[in-house]
Amino acid sequence: MGIFLGINAGGTKTDFVITDGTLMPVYSSTAPPCNLKKEGIDSALVLLEDILSGIVASNKIDINEIAGICAGFAGGGRVNDTENLKLRFQKLIKEKFGLAIPVIITTDALITLEGAFKGGEGAVLIAGTGSIIYAKDNKDIFYRAGGFGRIIGDEGSGYSIGRKGLAAAAKFFDSRGKDNLMAKYLKDEFNISSTEGLIKKVYEENLEPSEFAPHVIAAAAGNDPAAQMIVDEETEELINHIKAVKNYLGSNFKLCLSGGIIATDNYFSRRLKNKIGERFPNIEISLPAYSPEIGAVLLLRKKTGL
């Protein structure tokens, strides 16, 4: 039967696993992050090649035993991009590694959903660097909301939370807003205490807003009014994500929370869970059955019959 490679390329890191036919992991590791829409097909192809080269270099797995590969990418929701990457990757692995095997390239949201419910029905709300909700009903029909990216979307994500926190600190620095704990965190953790310092850090040193999100959440936990307002606004945006798919799934379904912002225990995730419990009493928040990279293997085997 061979072995299978599942890859979850996110905005923070890439996790990948090789499993046997029973989904038992036989090798796993991590690689740098990659958002397909943001960083492009060339960067994604380099990542995939590096993963296979690393597997070869490890001497733990015979690469010729890999029967298929499935990779889910953040920003991988556009068919033209994923199909282009798939064709280029298949050509590369044939020329460099001598592999002529099935390859699936899709979105990280889909492999997360497949893993969470073992291919069954349910919804996955993802809030990490970006945000999206992906759902499937009992007829295997898919639905989604969000996932429009940082420029026109990603509400409730680390990027959106962090951006609002940095904006609140900026207003304090130039006397448009009140003092707040977020400005204190900028000084203590980033050595920033002025307008000039903040502008330099963001625009010259490329501070990602999502890097600041944990400090905004910590400030909210510390009873900072401005930070708590941000948390309330951003959790409300995720509630709207759930409302969107609830129109299709009905009022009774399982929901899995995924992504670094809401899958860990923090002030933001607790506030969100409280809102879900109050607004949607028939929705069951459940833990994922499998990780997204295992979900990629499940999707691969379902689509190819391997």
Strand ranges in the chain using DSSP code E only, listed in sequence order: 3-9, 14-19, 25-31, 66-73, 103-107, 122-127, 131-136, 142-146, 254-258, 284-286
As a whole-number percent, the residues of the chain with pLDDT over 70 amount to 100
Neighbouring C-beta atoms of residue 65, cutoff 10 Å? 13
pLDDT, one tens digit per residue, over 121-130 is 899 998 988 8
Chain-wide mean pLDDT for the chain? 90
In Å, what is the CA distance from 255 to each residue of 19, 121, 182, 296? 26, 10, 31, 19
Do residues 160 and 132 both lie within one domain?
Answer: yes
Residues 246 and 151 in one domain: yes
Q: Are 81 and 39 in contact (CB under 8 A)?
A: no
Please say if the pLDDT value at position 194 is more than 90.
Answer: no
Mean pLDDT of 183-201: 87
- One domain, residues 138 and 256: yes
Do 161 and 64 lie in a common domain? no
Q: Is the dihedral of CA 82, 84, 85, 86 positive or negative?
A: positive
pLDDT digits (tens, 9 = 90+) for 230-282: 999 999 999 999 999 998 888 889 999 988 899 889 999 999 999 999 999 99
How many of the other CB atoms lie within 10 Å of CB of 254?
17
Confidence at 1, pLDDT banded by 50, 70, 90: low
Q: Are residues 283 and 158 in the same domain?
A: yes
Which of 46, 228, 8 has the alpha carbon at shortest distance from 124? 8
**Residue 127: domain span:** 120-288
Sign of torsion, CA 180 186 188 191?
Answer: negative
Report the predicted TM-score, pTM, of the whole model to 2 decimal places: 0.79
Domain count, the chain: 2
CA 177 to chain centre: 32
Quote the pLDDT of residue 174.
Answer: 83
Same domain, residue pair 151 and 214: yes
pLDDT tens profile 31-81: 999 988 888 999 999 999 999 999 888 878 888 899 999 999 988 878 889
**Residues 80 and 221 reside in one and the same domain:** no
Give me the count of residues in the chain: 306
215 shares a domain with 243: yes
pLDDT of the residue at 173: 83
> Is residue 182 located within the same domain as residue 75?
no
| Residue 269 and residue 155 share a domain | yes
The answer to whether residues 78 and 127 belong to one domain is no
CATH of the domain at 66: 3.30.420.40
Residues 6+ apart with CB under 8 A from 93: 52, 69, 99, 101, 103
Q: What is the pLDDT of residues 146-175, one digit of tens each?
A: 988 778 878 999 999 999 999 998 888 887
> In terms of domains, do 24 and 57 share one?
yes
